[in-house]
């Protein structure tokens, strides 16, 4: 690696104080940092991913400094020119990131000064890395939340598609993982749509508190320059629904607040918890004992020893990665515990958990949308390779475990029995069916009438899976008519 001095001599128009970190602060420091301390305190190898936000924030700040007459128009133009070059250097991979320069902010500022001289040194007027980093993280996270919103929508669309194809497919609904009542598989899928819809709402809500401008708070107390913070907010799109700029109102809070990162990670954790619940069901449903569904081979792996195996690695890993994201939430919330105002270096530790949360959530949502709904085949315009549903296996399972026992009780209630008495009567019927090793619907009418004389032939409709489903025709119930209405509602909502 060329030394920074040599680099400087070759390309710098003026002396650059930021060439090494020991020089970055001031003449106050009498000894250089050890390599271990440099490595321990630097963040550039992970926070360089904030570079676009860092440059956007700097350009907005410089534009405002010029508009306020704090720097000259020529300096502003030089800063713009330098940042354009830095952008292309980073994009092409030519930019040399230096551990010595600690973080993304100092790396970019140092290069700017190398390129444009004194104008580069004027950029930091009325600014501190404390309000700079808080701004960068917020800008970056805002963009990621927008990508996550799209992915959450894709996953919901995939689930609604599967629901629409399977409204009339019946599987046993469980409570305590014991057969409870028959439900529509479409209805079951829509339960997850509700969860992911709430996740999308939570993300949108978090976004409102992410999209607030700390810049202009400087190190902690505000600044002596006549900054126009609202102008910067407007430039960066930090505006509310009616287009008004939104700016942090207390400089101490502005530089130290990481609530937005915690809130985001909490929303991400809950979303991963929903993914883990879906994963668990997919894993159970594709086990040989259930055989309800298949997922495409590309989401599974074989075993190195058991040739017959197809393991649901993707849902299993998603279930596992939920722990990692929840761990990041614990990490971030503990990071903030007991921190005195204002900025503390502790906050540099916010980045890796936040970045990993974003990466994990995005990958997981993307892969689940494809695993559930399939991939678009451009030739046919159809989605292919989503989950395959084994409707007969589901229905067969729903016929076990007396899933329609409640329907028999409801039938008797309609004949005038108090519900508690009906419940008791049906318990006797179930006991008899168990003895005969058959379903309630397979007991002869005479046997059923032995439990209650008012039982008539129409009881068999109530005891059928389809009769049971159709009877649950209340809002949010599993009757196919209700499920179709919900599908239409979701489709309209997701198309908007
Ligand atoms: N790299 C630092 C961070 O991530 C930037 C802010 C540093 N500010 C300071 N006064 N040391 O938080």
Domain count along the chain:
3
Q: Ligand 1: which of 46, 103, 132 to mutate, judged by most atoms within 8 Å of the beta carbon?
A: 103
Collapsing DSSP to helix, strand or coil, 296 comes out as coil
Is the residue at 23 inside a domain? Answer: no
Identify whether 427 is part of a domain.
yes
**Could you tell me the two tokens for 22?**
């020991």
Q: Does residue 7 belong to any structural domain of this protein?
A: no
Helix (H, G, I), strand (E, B) or coil at 302: coil
Are residues 347 and 451 part of one domain?
A: no
- 185 CA to middle of ligand 1, Å? 51
The whole-number pLDDT of residue 302 equals 85
User: Atom 3 (ligand 1): residue with closest C-alpha?
Assistant: 348
Q: Are 314 and 366 in contact (CB under 8 A)?
A: no
pLDDT of residue 1: 38
Residue 21: per-residue pLDDT: 52
Which among 108, 109, 127, 133 is the best mutation to test ligand 1's pocket, defined by most ligand atoms within 8 Å of the CB? 133
Task: Please state, in angstroms and rounded to a whole number, the distance separating the CA atoms of residues 60 and 247.
Answer: 14
> Do residues 126 and 218 make contact, with C-beta atoms less than 8 angstroms apart?
yes
Ordered mean pLDDT values, 10 residues apiece, the chain (496 residues): 39 49 69 93 98 98 98 98 98 97 98 98 98 99 98 98 98 96 98 98 98 98 98 98 98 98 98 98 96 94 84 96 98 98 98 98 98 94 94 96 94 95 95 93 94 95 95 98 98 96
72: containing domain: 35-125
> What are the strands, taking DSSP E only, across 378-475?
382-384, 388-389
Tallying the residues shown for the chain, one arrives at 496
Report the C-alpha gap between 270 and 267 in whole angstroms. 5
Phi, psi of 61 (to 5 degrees): -65, -45
CATH number of the CATH domain containing 441: 1.10.40.30
In this structure, are 232 and 296 located in the same domain? yes
Ligand 1 center to 90 CA (angstroms): 21
Q: How many Cα atoms within 13 Å fall on the side-chain side of residue 364?
A: 27
21 occurs within a structural domain: no
Q: Are residues 370 and 339 in the same domain?
A: yes
Q: Among 125, 153, 176, which residue terminates a domain?
A: 125
Pairing of strands 388-389, 293-294: antiparallel
- Residue 226: inside a domain: yes
Whether residues 64 and 198 share a domain: the answer is no
- Considering the domain architecture, whether residues 330 and 308 belong to the same structural domain is answered as yes
Q: What are the pocket residues of ligand 1 if the criterion is a CB atom closer than 6 Å to any ligand atom?
A: 43, 47, 103, 129-130, 133, 343, 345, 347-348
CATH number, position 54: 1.10.275.10
167 inside domain: yes
Q: Is residue 41 part of a domain?
A: yes
104 CA distance to ligand 1 middle (Å): 10
Task: Give the bridge partners for 288, in sequence order.
Answer: none
Same domain, 58 and 90: yes
Are residues 445 and 424 part of one domain?
Answer: yes
Pairing verdict, β 382-384 and 388-389: unpaired
Residue with tokens 């500022």: 109
Residues 98 and 188 in one domain: no
pLDDT score recorded for residue 12: 41
| 163-194 exposure pattern, b = at least 16 Cβ within 10 A, e = fewer | bbebbebbbbbeeeeebbbbbbbbbbbbbbbe
Q: Name the residue at shortest CA distance from atom 2 of ligand 1.
A: 348
Tell me how far apart the alpha carbons of residues 209 and 312 are, in angstroms, rounded to a whole number. 38
CATH value at residue 341:
1.20.200.10
On whether both 121 and 134 belong to a single domain, the answer is no
What is the distance in A from the centroid of ligand 1 to the CA of 114? 22
Note whether 136 and 275 are same-domain residues: yes
| 177 and 403 Cβ atoms separated by less than 8 Å | no
The answer to whether 286 and 293 have CB atoms below 8 angstroms apart is yes
Q: What are phi and psi of 231, to 5 degrees?
A: -65, -45
Same domain as 239, residue 103: no
Domain boundary among 323, 356, 384: 384
- Residues that are catalytic: 176, 303
3-class SS at 173? strand
Q: What is the pLDDT of residue 301?
A: 85
118, with CB counted inside 10 A (0-12, 13-18, 19+), is exposed
Residue whose CA lies nearest to ligand 1 atom number 12 = 348
Which of 384, 414, 436 is the last residue before a domain boundary? Answer: 384
User: Angle between the 104-116 and 129-165 helix axes, to the nearest 10 degrees?
Assistant: 120
103 Cα–ligand 1 center, Å: 8
Decide if 374 is inside a domain: yes
Residue nearest to atom 11 of ligand 1 (CA): 345
The whole-angstrom separation of Cα 297 and Cα 371 is: 10
Domain match, 70 and 141 both: no
């Amino acid at each position: 690696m060329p030394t920074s001095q040599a680099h400087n001599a070759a390309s710098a128009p003026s002396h650059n104080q930021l060439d090494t970190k020991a020089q970055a602060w001031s003449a106050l420091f009498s000894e250089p940092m050890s390599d271990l301390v440099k490595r321990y305190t630097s963040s550039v190898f992970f926070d360089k991913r904030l570079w676009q936000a860092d440059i956007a924030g700097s350009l907005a700040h410089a534009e405002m400094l010029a508009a306020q007459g704090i720097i000259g128009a020529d300096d502003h133009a030089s800063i713009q020119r330098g940042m354009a070059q830095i952008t292309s250097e980073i994009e092409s991979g030519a930019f040399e990131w230096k551990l010595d320069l600690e973080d993304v902010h100092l790396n970019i500022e140092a290069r700017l000064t190398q390129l444009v001289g004194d104008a580069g040194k004027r950029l930091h007027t009325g600014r501190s890395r404390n309000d700079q980093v808080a701004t960068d993280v917020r800008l970056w996270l805002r963009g990621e939340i927008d990508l996550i919103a799209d992915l959450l929508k894709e996953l919901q669309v995939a689930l609604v598609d599967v629901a629409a194809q399977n409204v009339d497919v019946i599987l046993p609904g469980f409570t305590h993982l014991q057969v409870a009542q028959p439900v529509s598989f479409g209805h079951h899928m829509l339960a997850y749509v509700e969860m992911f819809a709430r996740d999308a709402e939570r993300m949108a809500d978090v976004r409102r508190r992410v999209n607030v401008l700390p810049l202009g708070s400087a190190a902690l107390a505000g600044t002596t320059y006549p900054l126009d913070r609202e102008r910067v907010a407007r430039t960066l799109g930090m505006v509310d629904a009616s287009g008004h700029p939104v700016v942090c109102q207390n400089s101490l809070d502005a530089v130290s607040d990481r609530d937005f990162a915690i809130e985001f990670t909490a929303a991400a954790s809950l979303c991963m918890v929903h993914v883990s619940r879906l994963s668990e069901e997919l894993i159970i449903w594709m086990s040989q004992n259930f055989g309800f569904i298949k997922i495409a081979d590309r989401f599974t792996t074989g075993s190195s020893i058991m040739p017959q195996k197809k393991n649901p690695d993707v849902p299993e890993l998603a279930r596992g990665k939920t722990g990692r994201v929840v761990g990041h939430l614990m990490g971030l919330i503990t990071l903030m515990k007991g921190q005195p105002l204002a900025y503390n270096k502790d906050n540099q530790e916010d980045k890796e958990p936040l970045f990993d949360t974003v990466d994990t959530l995005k990958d997981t949502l993307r892969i689940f949308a494809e695993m559930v709904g399939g991939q678009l085949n451009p030739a046919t315009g159809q989605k292919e390779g989503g989950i395959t549903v084994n409707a007969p296996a589901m229905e067969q399972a729903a016929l076990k475990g007396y899933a329609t026992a409640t329907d028999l009780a409801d039938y008797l209630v309609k004949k005038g029995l108090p519900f508690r008495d009906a419940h008791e009567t049906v318990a006797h019927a179930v006991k008899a069916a168990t003895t005969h090793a058959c379903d309630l619907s397979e007991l002869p009418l005479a046997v059923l009438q032995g439990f209650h004389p008012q039982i008539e032939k129409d009881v068999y409709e109530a005891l059928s899976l389809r009769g049971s489903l159709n009877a649950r025709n209340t809002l949010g119930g599993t009757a196919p008519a209700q499920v179709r209405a919900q599908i239409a509602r979701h489709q309209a909502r997701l198309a908007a």
